[in-house]
């Protein structure tokens, strides 16, 4: 596995493998079972697997949130190696946002609802960095988790609107046995807050926004940002709560049996 720090290194490394297919798994590190399911799918589908590992400052509104984001590069690299990743792209912030950087991608409507209302600018940061990763890696396929359902929808829109020749695969949420959706932010929860956080997945699994809101209102120690039905592909009931100083999101697809999906920019 080759770890590249610069755009030039990635391009050089991938130059010789372009006859085969390339799968890109964008991550911010702190890898967990959800990421591993994306890497596994990418490994099964492609000749070359690229994982990006970049904590993207442009998608964090608050500097405390950015500073507190878990960073475990050595461990992430071990997991990536075990998952059969060929190339890790782990750039410094200046490599992705050099002085004078001023070009942004805004998925306007989708980016301003739900999470976008509580995290203004978040999806602009996501869309911009993901498009830049696409431009650097030029993947045939890219892999996202259903856990961030709105992010997957934003990327689907981006691929479609800009006619990118990239297949998007969205893999199901991976949960702990007690139902908590795996998230890099779970590492920030105290044991008590982790127990409180279970109320979110339980509430959403009622399949009714009203029932979920009532259940969460009756839970101690949670601040509910929103619980809403979102008309995504597939439609989901999505929610966000704050538990202590940690913000968690989760969603449950409204049509049962939604397995991993894939679609391409030119045919959605």
| Residues at the interface with ligand PAF (CB under 6 A) | 26-28, 56, 59, 126, 129-130, 148, 151
Separation between Cα atoms, residue 25 and residue 21, nearest integer Å: 13
Positions of E strands within the chain: 2-4, 22-27, 48-53, 87-89, 141-145, 167-171, 222-230, 236-243, 246-253, 261-264
Residues 6+ apart with CB under 8 A from 74: none
Q: Write out the two tokens for 231.
A: 């008309």
Helix (H, G, I), strand (E, B) or coil at 96: helix
Separation between Cα atoms, residue 264 and residue 141, nearest integer Å: 9
What is the smallest separation between the CB atom of 231 and ligand PAF, expressed in angstroms?
21
What is the smallest separation between the CB atom of 148 and ligand PAF, expressed in angstroms?
5
Q: Which is nearer to ligand PAF, 59 or 146 (CB)?
A: 59
Q: Which is nearer to ligand PAF, 17 or 66 (CB)?
A: 66
Separation between Cα atoms, residue 108 and residue 116, nearest integer Å: 10
Of residues 16, 32, 35, 160, which has the active-site annotation?
Answer: 35
What is the smallest separation between the CB atom of 129 and ligand PAF, expressed in angstroms?
5
What is the smallest separation between the CB atom of 215 and ligand PAF, expressed in angstroms?
27
Burial state string for 226-237 with b = 16 or more CB within 10 A and e = fewer than 16: bbbebebebebb
What is the smallest separation between the CB atom of 91 and ligand PAF, expressed in angstroms?
12
Q: Are strands 167-171 and 261-264 parallel, antiparallel or unpaired?
A: antiparallel
Catalytic residue status for 122: no
The residues that are catalytic are 35
């Amino acid at each position: 596995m080759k770890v590249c720090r610069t755009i030039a290194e990635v391009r050089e490394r991938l130059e010789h493998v372009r006859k085969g297919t390339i799968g890109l798994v964008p991550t911010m590190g702190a890898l967990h079972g959800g990421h591993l399911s994306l890497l596994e799918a990418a490994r099964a589908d492609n000749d070359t697997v690229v994982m990006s590992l970049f904590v993207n400052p442009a998608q964090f509104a608050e500097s405390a949130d950015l500073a507190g984001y878990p960073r475990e590069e050595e461990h992430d690299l071990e997991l990536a190696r075990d998952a059969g990743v060929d190339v890790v792209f782990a750039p410094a912030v200046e490599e992705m946002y050099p002085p004078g950087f001023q070009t942004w991608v805004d998925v306007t409507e989708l980016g301003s609802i739900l999470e976008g209302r509580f995290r203004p600018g978040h999806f602009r940061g996501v869309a911009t960095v993901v498009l830049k990763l696409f431009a650097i890696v030029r993947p045939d396929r890219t892999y996202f988790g259903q856990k961030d359902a709105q992010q997957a929808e934003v990327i689907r829109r981006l691929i479609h609107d800009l006619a990118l020749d990239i297949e998007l695969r969205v893999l199901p949420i991976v949960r702990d046995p007690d139902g908590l959706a795996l998230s890099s932010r779970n590492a920030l929860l105290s044991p008590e807050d982790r127990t409180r956080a279970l109320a979110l997945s339980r509430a959403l699994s009622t399949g009714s926004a009203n029932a979920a809101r009532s259940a969460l209102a009756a839970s101690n120690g949670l601040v509910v940002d929103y619980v809403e039905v979102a008309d995504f592909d597939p439609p989901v009931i999505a929610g966000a709560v704050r538990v202590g100083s940690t913000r968690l999101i989760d969603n449950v697809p409204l049509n049962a049996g939604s397995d991993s999906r894939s679609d391409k920019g030119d045919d959605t």
